[in-house]
Chain A
Amino acid sequence: MKFKTFAAFVGPSIFLMLLFIAAPLASVFVQSFQSTQPVLERVEVETCTPGFPTQTCTTEVKTRPLLDASGKIQTTTEWVGLESYANVLQLDRVGQALADGAPGRILTIDFWKALRFTLTLTLVTLPLVIGLGLALALAVNNATKRLRGQIIFVSLLPFIITPVIGALSIRWLFIGDGIMTAALEGWLDRDISMFAQGWTIELLMNFYRVWHVAPFAFVILYAGLQTVNQDTLESAIIDGASRFERLRYVIVPHLMPLIVFIALIHLMDCYRAFEEVVGFSSQAHRITLQWLTFDLLTPDDSGNRSISRASASAMLTMIGIVILLVPLLRRTWRDHRGA
């Protein structure tokens, strides 16, 4: 292909990627080292509010921002170095907890609490997603041709459902006296509250993640199964390989690049888990890194928002993803060069 043709095809998408991915990333990177504050004044304000039967007026000193000539809030921006990162990581409290011999206290700090949960969610669901996806793919591959279409359609449903809706529907099955809780209570003959303690919510969140992502692994692996070399399989059968040995020595090695691909996507996706926290309203017990960023960015009733800390938290999330992906990327790179 001529370079000109190539550029014409790729140009628009590179432009969009620069505009919507690279530029925001650069701006968040810069903001994580800056602090923008309004210029504040302290003034005495008289406020009159309705009462019974007449108004009550109170005078108090309020802190409010100064407005400039065009009616916008005056702000000052300074470079604060790594201060926002320090505020997110709270390494002094981590050190204190370690010095006191109570490492459990580290998990009461938002960032570390979120990191702990995000990592376990990611790493626990990864083998389950791949295992379940592979099992589904093998089952469908061995099913009679007439049923395959229907089975594929049904298995794909969880993947098609909007994530938040999927999380909410699982929550509704279990919250309060939901159908599933009521059924479990009847079966086990004891009172069950799935949303009263952290570990049960965590269990549900892990279940939701596997339920939602396994179909993705299934589709990819099912496609991969169609390309397995039938001659190799037949020779394995003639050599007396059992079903399991065929899977272990023929099929899985053939699918390995796809499994690595699924693992890559899953790690990236799961590390920025967010829907679970919203869907299960698990803030009191379990939070994820992405939710932490969102929470810092949400303005409170007086309009304050922590943009610097949110930027720092977002950058830390990105660094985390990169670290997680390094081993897999190195493997792919090695394979690539080997080929």
Chain B
Amino acid sequence: MESTVSVSKGVFLFPNGFKKVKSSKKKPESVFFEKLFEEESWYVVYKRNWDLIENVLQDLHHRTYSVLLNDIVNYIKEFSGRNEFSLDGIIPSATLLTGVNQPDHASQFTALLNIIREEITPHVAIINAQDAPSVKHLVENAVRQLICEQSQIDSSDCDDFNVKSKTKLKRGQYTMRALKNWYCSKYVNVSPKKNKHRVPPNTLVIVMPDFESFNCNVLQDFIMIVSSYTSCLPIVIVFGVATSVSALHKSFPYHISSKLLIKVFHSHSSPVYMNQVLDEIFLTHTSPFHLSGKAFELLTDVFLFYDFSVTGLIQSIKYCMMDHYYGDNMKSLCCQPDMLEETILNLSKEDLESIRQLMSFRPFLEQQDCRAKISLFEDDNYFRDVLYKQMNRLYDYLYSFYLCVRLLHAFVQDIPKNLLGKTVREIYTKCAVQDIVETTAFKECMQLLNFQSQMKLVETIKNGLKVVNTSLQNVSPVKPLQVTPKKNNMEDVIVNNHLGEGFVKNVRVHLLMFLRQIEKANTEATIITNSMETDDDVENVPGNRYKLKEKLLKATRVDRVQSEFEMVRLRFVSYLEEVFAKGLQPPHTQTFYEILFFNDVSNVKKQIVGSPRGALHTALSNPAHYLQCTCCQLASSESVVGSLPDLCLAYKLHRECGKHINLYDWLQAFAAVLRPDDDEDRHQHPVVQSRFTRAVAELQFLGFIKSSKRKTDHVMRLTW
């Protein structure tokens, strides 16, 4: 105990190898959670679905970044290939414009690091601004990483060097000189001996992901230092710049920037990437989990208005998903369609009961006849059958819904004025919130479609066909309805036939037909415009039935002469309206939509868009909200009761004051609330005074007030 003997009190550190415990501790914890939940079917389904989504996300991530990363890698390779360092004192450097979405950068740069490690060189250092407050730290950090990273990765390859360098260098000794010596002993001195496995000397890469937050003087010095070593060390620097290249130029004066050879790489802008993520992963019928219009709107708003962070968006979606599944076995139905039958069989009685209580079940119930109603409630097996049927219908609906959204997007995207929005997600939001066919925007769009030229229309239809074809190609193996064993009433079959795959095929046939007609009508229309009233030409052409029809139609209309194209167009547009009216019914009209769609926006909003001040204010002005106690029930938010916690009381009283608060008055008011009965010397009571002092101190700690030097006995309010 001698080591802890001290004149004054102190905190003594006994190193006991805690670190090792820490790393192993984490695992049991996650296992614990899993153990707790793994029995529950909802957790199993959630886990499976999230893994699914994560895989797809990673895939997409790789696809989007790979081009850019390969470019950078090739650029760096170009320099590593050059053995003679011909550029005297000039450091090759890559500037990666990453966009302002700070949270996403990390993943981007780890991907970059990995690929550099794999393809070019094991010597990579990544230095964040917070690790480099001065040149000393910066250099030490860089050198240490460059030397050490090696030993971690291919320690088997060249042990002798690593052991030497490891034992030799202490913290203060990581200087450029040390790096140079290390590099020379590693590569330059070895190569004359013709060690065959060490072919070209490796490049050293230094990555600085957040250029803007570096102190520019530090960076300037660092670049000068590095540039003086370029003759013997092949160093490449990669800057991650969030704003634009001029940030780089602004922070370097001429004599520094002339030491750099800058090549700029643009990364994807994050809104584009977000659209991609949403379009390809979440807004498809294959996604197991769907966001209702409002929830979706909230998330995209957070993205567009606040942070531009795709990572954040994905995490929010994950949160929504967790919230959706949590503790609710019913939600285990929200799974891949091919697992549906099994899951329904596994549902317990209580689960079925809670499904019966869903809001969207009621309209469905009302349509049924009396006997069916009773058996729906009494007979679980019958209910299971119905549930299965309805869920399948829901999947079919989803399939055609997303198809229609995309189709609508294909038709609307290049219509002037952007009435419905440019991207799929915007259209989705509109469609999911309300019945879009009823909106004026939709009607206007259809009208505008009615004015499109032949060429344009042919093009858009082709686009639409492409959409339909792709979705037909990657249709998931939905079990055709006919296979399902049941005795359904005829109505259902008819409705079912309208949605799902059959519906899509139908759309495709129609689109093809219209396309052919419009293409053909193209020539006809020009002839007609040439000879307005003479219908002879048309008659001479061996026309099909449509033309005949149109001719007759035309004959009936005397006042307004329409070309054939216009007629077809008109019919086409009305057909489109019909299709959309059928396919784009909003999700909340569907039976059991709650199972697949996440809808509880208000609940999640608090977690996703946290508002610390708001929470603090509620806690202080209405403590019952959090305490759930009966004693602090307030009539209005302004009223004051003596039973409130002291802190809340002080807070409420301080809100009534101006910028400066007189402590004495405050105390008076405080005492008056606490002890309304004895009036004279209540504020002198030591208990009151100490309670008051403590409340004030706490308020100061929370940052609402601070003591002011200007006026004695006054404190200043810091919030307004």
State yes or no: do A and B come from one complex. no
